[in-house]
Amino acid sequence: MRPKPAIEALRAQIERLECRSRRSRSVLPFGIAEIDSRLPGGGLTLGALHEVAGGGNGTIDGAAAALFAAGIASRTKSKVLWCITKPDLFAPALAQAGLSPDRVIYAEAGDDKTVLACMEEGLRHGGLGAVIAEIARLSMTASRRLQLAAEGTGTIGIALRRWRRQTEASDFGQPTAATTRWRVSALPSTPLPVPGVGRPRWLVELIRCRAGESADFELEACDDTGHLRLPADLVHGPGQAEDGRRSASG
Amino acid sequence: MLAADAAAQAAGLRVGMPATKAQALVQSLVIQDADPAADAEALERLALWMLQRFAPIVAADPSDGIVIDCSGADHLHGGEPAMLATLVEKLASVGLLARAAIADTWGAAHALARFGGRAGFVSEPGKAANDVATLPVAGLRLPPPLIDSLRVLGFDQIGDLLAQPRAPLALRFGAELGRRLDQTIGRIAEPIDPVRPDTIIEARRAFAEPIGAAETIARYIGKLATQLCDGLEQKGVGARRIDLICQRVDNRAQAVRIGTGLPLRDAKRMTRLLSDKIETIDPGFGIEIMTLTAAVTEPLAPKQVITNLVDEAEPDVSGLIDLLANRVGERNLYRIAPVASDVPERAARHIPALAPETGAEWPGHWPRPSRLLPNPEPIDTVALLPDHPPASFTWRGVRRRVKRADGPERVFGEWWKRDPELEAVRDYFRVEDDAGERYWVFRAGDGQDPLTGSQRWFLHGIFG
């Protein structure tokens, strides 16, 4: 889809109305044309709040979602603040997604409220590359605060949504002020010619995107620099963006 | 005889015994004259040490105790029970046997620590009167003759006195008894006059009119912080522990203590850290004196910043770290550093968030799960022995068929750490089920030799 000049002009006008003195927004591209072309500006907006959740069992453990967030954080500069309530994150796996242990500061808080407060402080500080917080409930007010805090400094904020029970995951349908909303679920790994587990694959769904359309992608998980990859058998395949799943999630 | 430790008591010596009798009991007894002045001085020194490490308001409680007002300071040590345990442990490490208790009032804590009988007792708020009721009257800090005459009349426990009408007691024993009783159960205030070392750097402000509003307190914190930073700068030091003591009109003190990771001399940051704690200050009828003290200081020389045109400087996050550490507690804010161990749960350790960069990494050739369960959970499996991955397994009541698997990755027990691990073995497998979810499972044992483990299967982690 080629952006039309009239629509672009309108977007710029809305942008001016929304934020009077905001610095020009920079983005963090994924480095995959299929995804970047779907996101306004050609990548994840820095200085904004993004939501990531797991699909299926991932709503509880958030394993793939955590790696997805770690991959994004590893491509930013300087330190990363990771706010948690449950200390079950395994740091060697984050290092394998490109996030070296020297860069991550963990803040272990007792409840969701403190996690949100820590995340907001991290976003307001401005010296961090990314702030990631594992939270279950995220109200409109709380997410708006986080979004404003992120806009002020240009730090990327990632709310890693993780629930206690699978039934509570319906909360993910509630509106928040986040700029994008992603769902990452595990898919069978890339087949190998020999027995064994290949590179993990994810179904990455862009459920909501401000000033953009939703879409979904089948990707290979983060490598040790935090970059995702399009599976080799799909790179030259017939336009996978038009495949059947899109209407289901859009 | 003025003091007797555990060894002396075992030999049959008691406090109050004549020296000649003690000499008769123990042949080679060395007698030293008591030196109350030196004792008091030593107690004062110990109080100063506690002031630096534990709480802003500390005073000697002669002749054998120290009283600490720990409100507003326990958050740095992870709560009251943890703080008390650390305190007793630290004293034990220098050879001092201490008994400690936390209660609402000085009097109650005094009695509980000396006669409570339970180590590290923390009395619940509002329960002081209940907790001290069964303690002997000697815990009331009264002159010995008064205690003796109370005993003669049959008053053994503090509870007996609390149940009596006050007027006859006052008539018989004077006002002192009633005052001590009221102080113990918190009916009248008992301010603590804190120790202050001569060299301490502090800023102080007395108000003509008592203040109470949060905004006013914040404004004066800002002014005091500027003043304190000037004082720190003159001495070339930065503060590691900063105490704000608010003296209220009813002669009670409200204290707030904040800690920093690096020496701090920036008034703006100091104000920000202290302002975060304003909500914990109860101004009551108003605050008339505010004192800001640098309890622990470290040298902080002015540093020249090397500017570099080529690469950007790493932003300074120490301000944020202090802010978060004062909010969630110092031990809940950390970085994770690698440990050279193949056992997954031992492969990481916590280091302070501001520790220098280690540059160490885990060996990256084997995939690791992003979530590691705190305790491996037992699973039911169908698996070929000795070295095949499970064909299917049941975890949390859900049966999963294994489609693909990798392994085994054998982890040997660390016999140099624990003897029972001499033969222990774990075989880790990475398995993927039909739906594409990947798990990290292991078998305790090598599948053949029962000495190497129970041969049961466990799930230890979840891959993304």
pLDDT tens by residue, B376-390: 999 999 988 778 899
**pLDDT of residue A239 exceeding 50:** no
Mean pLDDT over the full length of chain B: 86
**Could B464 and A121 be called an inter-chain contact, meaning their C-beta atoms sit closer than 8 Å?**
no
Nearest-neighbour CA in chain A from B350: distance (Å) = 10
Rg (CA), chain B: 30
Q: How far are the Cα atoms of A216, B144, B176 from residue A203, in angstroms, in the given order?
A: 7, 80, 78
- The answer to whether the Cβ–Cβ distance between B464 and A202 falls below 8 Å is yes
Which two structure tokens, joined as six digits, stand for B56? 């802003």
- Read off the pTM: 0.76
Q: How far is CA B233 from CA B265, B298, B300, in A?
A: 7, 12, 9
Q: What residues in A contact B403, CB-CB < 8 Å?
A: 188
C-alpha distances out from residue B278 to A120, B72, B330, Å: 19, 10, 19
For an interface test with A, give the residue of B370, B375, B439, B459 to mutate (most A CBs within 10 A). Answer: B370
Reply yes or no on whether the pLDDT at B313 is more than 80.
Answer: no
pLDDT-based confidence at A236, cuts 50/70/90? low
Of B12-16, B157-161, B196-200, B221-225, the range with the highest mean pLDDT is B221-225
* Cross-chain residue pair A127–B317, CB shorter than 8 Å: yes
ipTM, two decimals, is 0.84
A99-108 tens-digit pLDDT: 999 999 999 9
Judged by CB atoms closer than 8 Å, whether chains meet at B335 and A102 is answered as: yes
Range of the domain at A91: 26-249
Whole-number Å distance between alpha carbons of A31 and A125: 28
For chains A and B, count residue pairs whose Cβ atoms are closer than 8 Å: 168
Q: Report the domain count for chain A.
A: 1
Among candidate residues B33, A90, B204, the one with its CA nearest the CA of residue A82: A90
By CA distance, what is A104's nearest residue in B?
Answer: B335
What confidence score (pLDDT) does residue B370 get?
A: 92
* pLDDT value, residue B104: 86
Question: What CATH number corresponds to the domain at position A81?
Answer: 3.40.50.300
- Does residue A231 lie in a domain region? yes
Q: What is the mean pLDDT of chain A?
A: 86
Residue B442 is predicted with a pLDDT of 93
Q: Give Cα B242 to chain centroid, integer Å.
A: 17
Residue B263 binned pLDDT confidence (cut-offs 50, 70, 90):
confident
Chain B positions touching A93 (Cβ under 8 A) are 367-370, 463-464
The conformational region for residue B325 under phi > 0 = left, psi -120 to 50 = alpha, else beta, is alpha
pLDDT at position A42 is 86
Measured CA to CA in angstroms, residue A30 lies from A3, A35, A48 at distances of: 19, 7, 16
A108 is a domain residue = yes
Question: Is A8 a domain residue?
Answer: no
Between A35 and B251, residue with greater pLDDT? A35
Range A2-16 average pLDDT: 80
Q: Calculate the alpha carbon distances from A215 to A34, B36, B198, B401, B429 in Å.
A: 10, 82, 69, 31, 34
- B369 to A63: CB separation less than 8 angstroms, yes or no: yes
- With CB atoms and an 8 Å threshold, state whether B336 touches A96: no
Average of pLDDT values for A85-100? 91
* Residue-wise pLDDT tens digits, B120-170: 788 888 888 888 888 888 888 888 888 888 888 888 888 888 888 888 888
Tell if the CB–CB gap between B464 and A221 is shorter than 8 Å.
yes
**A53-57, B46-50, B101-105, B119-123, range with the lowest pLDDT:** B119-123
Q: State the Cα–Cα distance between residues B433 and B415, nearest whole angstrom.
A: 34
Is A9 a member of any domain? no
Contacting residues of B for A97, CB less than 8 Å apart = 370
Min Cα–Cα distance to chain A from B463, Å: 6
Among the residue ranges A19-28, A65-74, B286-295, B341-350, the one predicted with the least confidence is A19-28
Task: Nearest chain A residue to B345 by CA: give it.
Answer: A90
Looking at chain A, which residue has its C-alpha nearest residue B439? A63
A11 within domain boundaries: no
CA distance A188 to chain B (A): 4
Nearest to B243 by CA among B43, B53, B46: B53
**C-alpha separations of B7 from A93, B29, B400 in Å:** 55, 12, 65
Q: Within a domain: residue A141?
A: yes
Mean pLDDT within B406-433: 89
Please tell me the distance from the alpha carbon of residue B241 to that of residue B264, in angstroms, as a whole number: 9
Question: In angstroms, what separates the C-alpha of A217 from chain B's closest C-alpha?
Answer: 16
Q: What pLDDT does residue A240 have?
A: 45
In a domain, A3, yes or no: no
Cα–Cα distance measured from residue B277 to residue B218, given in angstroms and rounded to the nearest whole number: 10
Q: What is the mean pLDDT of residues A186-202?
A: 90
Partner-chain contact A67 B320, CB within 8 Å: no
Determine the average pLDDT of the residues in A155-180.
90
With cut-offs at 50, 70 and 90, classify the pLDDT of residue A250: very low
Question: Does A105 sit within 8 Å of B335, measured CB to CB?
Answer: yes
Residue at A121 is within a domain: yes
Distance of residue B87 Cα from the nearest chain A Cα, in angstroms: 24
- CB contact under 8 Å between A224 and B364, yes or no, is yes
Instruction: Return the exposure string of B273-291: e unless at least 16 CB atoms fall within 10 Å of the residue's CB, then b.
Output: bbbbbeeebebeeebbebb
CA A177/CA A183 separation, integer angstroms: 16
B117's tokens: 């009988």
The Cα-based distances of A4 to A8, A10, A34, A242, B178 in angstroms read 6, 10, 18, 21, 87
